[in-house]
Amino acid sequence: MKTKKGLINSWIKKAEKDLLTAEHELSFSDAVTESICFHCQQAVEKYLKAYLVFLSIPFTKTHEIGELITKCENKDNEIFVFKEEADKLTDYAISIRYPEEPLEPTLKEAKEAFEMAKKIRGFVLSRLL
């Protein structure tokens, strides 16, 4: 079983890979916005889960960004400033991957998702240091 620090680092490592994937895709002129948004959501989810481990707050399997931020607020209410905007990423977790509910984000929305992911990354990493 991993130590607390090891588990935090594992979440961060996975989040960093998601963010890097989104960044790479954004560099193309024909960027696949669905992929960018999905990986941004995944990155935010993983950064928040790393922070929850750090804060010793248990969580269940969820893709709901708002729910994860609410849990973090129990010990760090400063994270609240991201809640409304970051929770918009939740839609990119599941529905974007299936054809039943086609969701095609614009390039502007993909860039906004990427910026939000970077904000959450910065916030969480500043707390972990």
Write the CATH number for 72: 1.20.120.330
CA 106 to chain centre: 19
Whole-Å CA distances, 19 to 27, 45, 85, 120 = 13, 11, 17, 11
Cα three-residue angle 20-68-13, rounded to 5 degrees: 30
pTM confidence score:
0.95
C-alpha R_g of the chain: 14
pLDDT per residue of the chain (129 residues) written in tens, 0 to 9: 789 999 999 999 999 999 999 999 999 999 999 999 999 999 999 999 999 999 999 999 999 999 999 999 999 999 999 999 999 999 999 877 777 777 789 999 999 999 999 999 999 999 998
Segments forming the whole domain that contains residue 91: 4-128
Number of domains within the chain: 1
44-65 residues labelled b (16+ CB within 10 A) or e (exposed)? bbbbbbbbbbbeebeeeeeeeb
CB 120 within 8 A of CB 66: no
